[in-house]
Structure formats: structure tokens, C-alpha cells
């Protein structure tokens, strides 16, 4: 059983850091020198260690590959102006990770491995945190089933890993979004609220079709009527109607409870906007657009941060926006970035010191 005495750490003999162009970092392409690996079997976490980033060995019968018992999180670390490393709201991602684990019939990962392991891993690779505007060190914790058995059942053994990727913005330009009315991401009672790998695998065909039509992503709608808005492929979605921010509610369990979503709603409230978390239909959105009430549309996510939408297309109806006029989204993004990089006081205790 993993104790509190600390993780075994094996350092890389040579760093790869000089091979990386820190001015050009596509999302999730490069990984730091180290990773954390923990193994679960016989009902407990047996080992956890930090070691050089390297390939994993696996059986062709690995349960995760066949039936998708696999979950993940996305978190980001930043440097403040003194060069100290901070992580944005990792406890919230830790809690969500274990909610996903429960839904997928996987074991809980203890705080000592997830948070303390992450802290030690970042401490070791903190030189990899980019300093450039809109760049960050993306933290990817994940867990998957490792039984070498192809019977359909919850695995008895699992691997939990954390890898780190210095990264630029996910969407570098305002997005064109296609409102989806054929395919479905999630239905009540399903796994829409969980961050399981299959939610993303299942979305790829619809987003690829949207790309072929010239769109960056889809905006998912409900499974029954295809009219109630859910979330965008990799983000939650928000709309500004005058002095109100409207966003789909979490009640049905069909969308992800985004940490950036929660942070954005908190900051928008502080900026004086009224927050409405509720059902919102594509018809209401089109009416608000036609009457000039809908002034801004944007996505929120760890990878995407605050990503403005410049076009929303539903059937033959196209809604165009000029993101350079997005007062709330622009101010929100600046406030959030300033908190993350220590330029603004962290009054919500969101920043976790490494």
C-alpha cells in the first residue's frame, strides 16, 4: 500500500528541454522529462513513482482498449512574475476525477497520489512551464483498466498516470461552430458528466463531419429533440444576453461540470452580470440573435480557456459575431489570466503553490 513517506523518484539522465521550441507549442504534442505512474491491484494502490517519460508495455488483451474503462482530467500550471509555479484549482479536478471513476466503476485515486504526486512531478519539471502569454503547462492525469482479460466486467487492476505537456492555446482563433442535430453526445442517465475517454471518441465522427463543412467544432444538442443546447466538443458554452450570462445547467447530468465554467461564472458575477444556469434552446438563441439581445458567445475549458465563437450555424440559419466587440469575454479572459499568473490577487484561493 502506498504510504505517506514519499514517492520513489528516478530522474532522467538527460533533459529534452533544449529540443523544444517554446515559441511554437501546438496543444498536447510535446511531453516533459518525467511522468508519474501508480498501480492498483488486489483492492489497493500498490506503488506510485515518478520516472523518466517513456512508453508503456501492454497486453493486446488490455481491458481498457476493448471496453473503454478509461478516464482523464485536464489541469494547467502557470508561472507568476517571480517565476514560482502554481496550479489552477487542482483540487476541483481531483474531485471530478473520482466522480468519473465512480461512474466508470473504477477505484478512487487518493489525494496523496493525485495531488501530492502531481506537485512533486511539476516541481521536478517546472522549467517546462512556458512563460508566454496564453501558454501553460498542461497536466494530464489519467487512469485505465489493465486486466488482461476480454470478459466484459470492471477490471481488477488499473494504472494511474500523470504526464505534462508544455502547450499553446487550443484554439488560436475565434471558432466557427456547427449546431449538431443528427448525432448525440449524451442523454440523461448516461456518462455525459464524466470525463471518460469514450465521450471524446464518440464525438470524433460528428466533429470530423463539421470540419469537412468548414466548422471547428459542434455544439451538442439533447438526445430527444435536438434543440436543447449542451456543450461544445471540448468546452462548456456561454452566451451573453445584455447584462445576463446564460449557460446550460448541470441538472440533467449530460454536460461536464467544468472547472473553468465555474470560475467564469464566479468572475462574471463579480463583473456585475446576472448568471442563469438553465435549459436553453436553439430557438431562444436564434430569437435573441435576431432581436440583437445575443451579444456574445464563447466556450470555457481548461485547454480552451475562454474561446470566442465567431459563427454559429443551425440548419440554414447563420449567426455571426465580431469577437473583437466581446466586452464580457475579453474582460473575463484577462481577469482569469491575471489571477493565474499572479498579476491579480487570488481572492478565491484557486491557485495551488507547487
Stretch of residues binding ligand COI (CB under 6 A), selected from 33-41, 53-61, 208-216, 302-310: 302-310
Nearer to ligand COI, 263 or 295 (CB): 263
Q: Please, what is the minimum distance in Å from the beta carbon of residue 305 to ligand COI?
A: 9
Task: Indicate which single residue of 200, 209, 277, 293 sits in contact with ligand COI (rule: CB under 6 A).
Answer: 200
Specify the residue, 267 or 303, whose C-beta has the smaller distance to ligand COI: 303
* For ligand COI, the closer CB: 89 or 310: 89
First vs last C-alpha separation in the chain = 25
Of the candidates 338, 336, 334, 340, which has an alpha carbon nearest to the alpha carbon of residue 352?
A: 340
Cβ nearer to ligand COI, comparing 45 with 94: 94
Measured from the CB atom, the residue of 120 and 167 that comes closer to ligand COI is 167
- 192 part of the interface to ligand COI, by CB under 6 A: no
CA distances from 231 to 162, 201, 223 (A): 26, 16, 13
Give the binding range for ligand COI (CB under 6 A) out of 52-60, 77-85, 295-303, 312-320: 295-303
Burial class (CB in 10 A: 0-12, 13-18, 19+), 291: exposed
Record the cell numbers describing residue 316, joined without a space: 440554414
How many residues in the chain?
354
The yes or no reply on residue 141 touching ligand COI (CB under 6 A) is: no
The contacts of residue 164 (CB under 8 Å, 6+ apart) are 31, 32, 34, 35, 77, 121, 122, 125, 128, 137, 138, 139, 140
Give dist(CA 203, CA 186) in Å, integer: 10
Q: Tell me how far, at minimum, the Cβ of 247 lies from ligand COI, in Å.
A: 16
Per CB under 6 A, residues contacting ligand COI are 74, 200, 234, 301-304
Amino acid at each position: 500500500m502506498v504510504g505517506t513517506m514519499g514517492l520513489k523518484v528516478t530522474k532522467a539522465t538527460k533533459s529534452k528541454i533544449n529540443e523544444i521550441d517554446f515559441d511554437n507549442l501546438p496543444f498536447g504534442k510535446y511531453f516533459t522529462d518525467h511522468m508519474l505512474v501508480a498501480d492498483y491491484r488486489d483492492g489497493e494502490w500498490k506503488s506510485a513513482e515518478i520516472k523518466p517519460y517513456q512508453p508503456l508495455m501492454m497486453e493486446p488483451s488490455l481491458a481498457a482498449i476493448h471496453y473503454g474503462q478509461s478516464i482523464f482530467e485536464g489541469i494547467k500550471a502557470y508561472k507568476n512574475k517571480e517565476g514560482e509555479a502554481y496550479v489552477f484549482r487542482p483540487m476541483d479536478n481531483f474531485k471530478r476525477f473520482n466522480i468519473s471513476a465512480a461512474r466508470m466503476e473504477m477505484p478512487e485515486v487518493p489525494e496523496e497520489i493525485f495531488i501530492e504526486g502531481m506537485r512533486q512531478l511539476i516541481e521536478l519539471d517546472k522549467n517546462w512551464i512556458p512563460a508566454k502569454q496564453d501558454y501553460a503547462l498542461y497536466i494530464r492525469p489519467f487512469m485505465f483498466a489493465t486486466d488482461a482479460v476480454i470478459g466484459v466486467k470492471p477490471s481488477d487492476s488499473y494504472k494511474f498516470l500523470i504526464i505534462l505537456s508544455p502547450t499553446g492555446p487550443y484554439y488560436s482563433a475565434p471558432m466557427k461552430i456547427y449546431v449538431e442535430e443528427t448525432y448525440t453526445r449524451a442523454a440523461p442517465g448516461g456518462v455525459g458528466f464524466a470525463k471518460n475517454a469514450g465521450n471524446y471518441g464518440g464525438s470524433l465522427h460528428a466533429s470530423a463531419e463539421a470540419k469537412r463543412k468548414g466548422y471547428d467544432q459542434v455544439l451538442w444538442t439533447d438526445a430527444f429533440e435536438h434543440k436543447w443546447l449542451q456543450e461544445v466538443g471540448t468546452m462548456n458554452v456561454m452566451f451573453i444576453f445584455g447584462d445576463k450570462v446564460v449557460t446550460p445547467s448541470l441538472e440533467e447530468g449530460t454536460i461536464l461540470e467544468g472547472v473553468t465554467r465555474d470560475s467564469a461564472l464566479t468572475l462574471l458575477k463579480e463583473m456585475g452580470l446576472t448568471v442563469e444556469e438553465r435549459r436553453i434552446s436553439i430557438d431562444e438563441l436564434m430569437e435573441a440573435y435576431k432581436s440583437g439581445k445575443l451579444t456574445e458567445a464563447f466556450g470555457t475549458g481548461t485547454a480552451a480557456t475562454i474561446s470566442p465563437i465567431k459563427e454559429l450555424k443551425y440548419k440554414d440559419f447563420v449567426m455571426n459575431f465580431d469577437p473583437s466587440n466581446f466586452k464580457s469575454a475579453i474582460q473575463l479572459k484577462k481577469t482569469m489570466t491575471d489571477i493565474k499568473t499572479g498579476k491579480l490577487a487570488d481572492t478565491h484561493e484557486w491557485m495551488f503553490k507547487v
